[in-house]
C-alpha cells in the first residue's frame, strides 16, 4: 500500500474516532437531560418518594440541599427529605411545578462525571396560615451527576432560591415568603452553603455561575 493511501487511512480513522467521541458526548448529554426531566415530572406528579431512586445507590456521598434547609448527605437522608415533602402534599389543592430549562452541562473526559446548571421557574399552591395560596417560585438547579453501572444518576441536587413570592403580591413586595423547603423538622448534616435570594434593595447576582469544564 502506498504511503499516501496509508496517510489517508490514518486521517479517516482519526476523523472516525472524533465522530464516535462526539456521538458519545451527545448521548451522555441527552441521558442527563432525560434524567433531570424525569425528576421534574415525578416531582410535579407528587411522586416524591420515587425521586431517591434517581440518585446513585452505591455512593455514600449523595446529597440534597434545598434553599436554606441545609445539606443532607447519604441516601437515607435523601429519602427522609422526600418523605417529608410527601407529608406536605397530601392536602387537597396542593401544586408543585418546577421546570428545568436552559441547561449548561459539562461532562468529564472519561464520561463518568458531569455537572449541570438549570434555571427552574415554577408555580406552587400550598397552605399559608391554613389558607391555600398561589406562589411564584424561581430557582436554579445546581446538579452533579455520576455514572453508576453505565447509567447516569444524581450525585447531588442543590436548589438555589431566586425568589418565592405570593402570586397576588409579587417578588418586589414579598420576595421570600418561605424558603425552609417544608422539612424544618429534619436535621441536616451540614449548614446551607449559599442562600441569597432576590432582594429589591441590593444588586442581585443570582449565583451559581455556569459549571467549568473538567480539568481531567
- Mean pLDDT, 10 residues at a time, over the chain (216 residues)? 67 65 88 98 94 98 95 97 84 91 96 97 89 94 98 97 93 80 81 94 95 90
The confidence score (pLDDT) of residue 8 equals 65
The confidence score (pLDDT) of residue 20 equals 66
The confidence score (pLDDT) of residue 13 equals 61
- Cell matching residue 182: 417544608
* CATH topology classification for 3-173: Nuclear Transport Factor 2; Chain: A, (3.10.450)
Strand segments (E) across the chain:
63-66, 71-73, 95-98, 101-107, 113-128, 131-148, 151-166
Per-residue pLDDT reduced to its tens digit, 122-149: 999 988 888 899 999 999 999 999 999 9
The confidence score (pLDDT) of residue 127 equals 84
Per-residue pLDDT reduced to its tens digit, 90-100: 788 989 999 99
The confidence score (pLDDT) of residue 6 equals 64
The CA distance from 135 to 23, in Å, is 41
Nearest to 119 by CA among 95, 92, 107, 137: 137
The confidence score (pLDDT) of residue 215 equals 86
> How many Cα atoms sit within 13 Å of 173 on the Cβ side?
7
The confidence score (pLDDT) of residue 188 equals 95
Q: Which DSSP state fits 68?
A: T
The confidence score (pLDDT) of residue 4 equals 72
Domain boundaries, the chain: 3-173
The confidence score (pLDDT) of residue 177 equals 66
The confidence score (pLDDT) of residue 199 equals 95
Amino acid at each position: 500500500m502506498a504511503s499516501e493511501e496509508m496517510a489517508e487511512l490514518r486521517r479517516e480513522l482519526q476523523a472516525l474516532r472524533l465522530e464516535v467521541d462526539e456521538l458519545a458526548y451527545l448521548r451522555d448529554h441527552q441521558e442527563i437531560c432525560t434524567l433531570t426531566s424525569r425528576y421534574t415530572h415525578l416531582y410535579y406528579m407528587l411522586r416524591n418518594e420515587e425521586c431517591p431512586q434517581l440518585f446513585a445507590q452505591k455512593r455514600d456521598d449523595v446529597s440534597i440541599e434545598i434553599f436554606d434547609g441545609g445539606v443532607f448527605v447519604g441516601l437515607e437522608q435523601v429519602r427522609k427529605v422526600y418523605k417529608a415533602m410527601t407529608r406536605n402534599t397530601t392536602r387537597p389543592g396542593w401544586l408543585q411545578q418546577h421546570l428545568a430549562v436552559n441547561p449548561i452541562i459539562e461532562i468529564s473526559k472519561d464520561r463518568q462525571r458531569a455537572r449541570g446548571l438549570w434555571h427552574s421557574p415554577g408555580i406552587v399552591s400550598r397552605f399559608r396560615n391554613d389558607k391555600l395560596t398561589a406562589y411564584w417560585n424561581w430557582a436554579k438547579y445546581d446538579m452533579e451527576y455520576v455514572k453508576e453501572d453505565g447509567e447516569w444518576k444524581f450525585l447531588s441536587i442543590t436548589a438555589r432560591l431566586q425568589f418565592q413570592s405570593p402570586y397576588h403580591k409579587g417578588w418586589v413586595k414579598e420576595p421570600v415568603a418561605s424558603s425552609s423547603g417544608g422539612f424544618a423538622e429534619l436535621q441536616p448534616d451540614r449548614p446551607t452553603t449559599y442562600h441569597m435570594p432576590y432582594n429589591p434593595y441590593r444588586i442581585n447576582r443570582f449565583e451559581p455561575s455556569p459549571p467549568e469544564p473538567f480539568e481531567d
